[in-house]
């Protein structure tokens, strides 16, 4: 527990707003497993949650920590775009059941938990490379992941126009890693990524293929090579998120090695796009 002190934060108001989507604050406390008296202190602004409880609260409502700590109008806008927080208990139940079904594919995934930059050629901005943030973490006995994509082009002066957030599960089957997720803000997409595992003593870069739909009216199914660069178990969240945007090929923030792994070239002797192993 952390004393709020004189810190200016809309967290208490944001928390009350998120709770208003549920049947009662007591129901929220029961599902979170947090004492009601302690939770009341969060809602009243007397104290802030511990890091562990903050993660539980964010996961329950389907928001990121920087979002729940943001000014109230910003959070309200995010939630309205999404169509409500994860009161979508139906969505949570689906994820929980899917995770339970896939638990057989969980052994050996602990080493992959942590944060990654992911790189692939954008489905909606042809010729641009999308650098995103992925977090793989333990979720009540199964391995889950979040992915945040920001479609912003800094070198063209364009502001952030779209933010996509995905939540899903990860499993290992017969020497391959599978990531299946659903876009959380609009619920308009389910995507899948298949990766080669790490054959090194330490996780470095994972490569594979990712498939989804382009963020266009046509919504055509589309596939691309992908590379995921391991950052560690903990990161400066704000700093790494600022790096997540669209880049032109040759940008120093991408690097020649990564570009070589994600280039979607099909040799004349091939008839399908295949992942490149390191």
Q: Compute CA distances 127 → 31, 124, 224, 249, whole Å.
A: 45, 9, 12, 8
- 43 vs 26: CA distance, rounded Å: 12
Chain segment 15-55, per-residue pLDDT in tens: 999 998 888 888 889 888 899 999 999 999 999 999 889 98
Locate CATH 1.10.260.40 in the chain. Answer: 9-79
Fold of 9-79: 434 Repressor (Amino-terminal Domain) (1.10.260)
Locate CATH 2.40.128 in the chain. Answer: 95-262
* Burial class of residue 165, CB neighbours in 10 A (0-12, 13-18, 19+): buried
CB atoms within 10 A of CB 153: 16
Fold of 95-262: Lipocalin (2.40.128)
- 145 vs 215: CA distance, rounded Å: 21
Output the CA angle 152-156-158, nearest 5 degrees: 45
- 179 vs 116: CA distance, rounded Å: 14
Tokens standing for residue 118? 């992911």
Place 109 in a pLDDT band, splitting at 50, 70 and 90. confident
Residue 219: its pLDDT value, please?
A: 78
CB 115 within 8 A of CB 239: no
Chain segment 145-170, per-residue pLDDT in tens: 999 888 775 555 454 457 788 888 88
Q: Where is pLDDT greater, at 247 or 75?
A: 247
Place 98 in a pLDDT band, splitting at 50, 70 and 90. low
């Amino acid at each position: 527990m952390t004393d709020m002190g004189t810190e200016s934060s809309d967290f208490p108001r944001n928390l009350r707003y998120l709770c208003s989507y549920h049947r009662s604050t007591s129901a929220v406390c029961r599902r979170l497993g947090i004492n009601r008296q302690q939770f009341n202190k969060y809602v009243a602004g007397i104290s802030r949650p511990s890091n562990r409880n903050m993660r539980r609260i964010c996961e329950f409502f389907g928001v990121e920590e920087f979002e729940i700590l943001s000014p109230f109008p910003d959070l309200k806008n995010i939630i309205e775009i999404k169509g409500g927080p994860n009161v979508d208990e139906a969505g949570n139940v689906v994820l929980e059941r899917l995770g339970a079904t896939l638990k057989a594919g969980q052994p050996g995934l602990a080493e992959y938990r942590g944060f990654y930059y992911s790189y692939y050629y954008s489905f909606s901005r042809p010729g641009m490379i999308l650098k995103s943030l992925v977090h793989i973490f333990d979720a009540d006995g199964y391995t889950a992941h979040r992915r945040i994509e920001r479609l912003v082009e800094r070198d063209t002066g364009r502001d952030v126009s779209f933010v996509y957030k995905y939540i899903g599960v990860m499993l290992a089957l017969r020497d391959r890693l599978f990531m299946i997720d659903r876009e959380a803000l609009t619920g308009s997409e389910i995507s899948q990524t298949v990766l080669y595992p790490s054959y090194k003593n330490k996780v470095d870069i994972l490569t594979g293929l990712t498939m989804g739909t382009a963020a266009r009216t046509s919504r055509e199914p589309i596939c691309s090579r992908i590379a995921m660069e391991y950052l560690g178990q903990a990161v400066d969240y704000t700093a790494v998120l600022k790096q997540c945007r669209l880049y032109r090929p040759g940008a120093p923030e991408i690097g020649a090695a990564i570009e070589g792994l994600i280039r979607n070239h099909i040799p004349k002797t091939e008839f399908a796009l295949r992942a490149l192993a390191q």
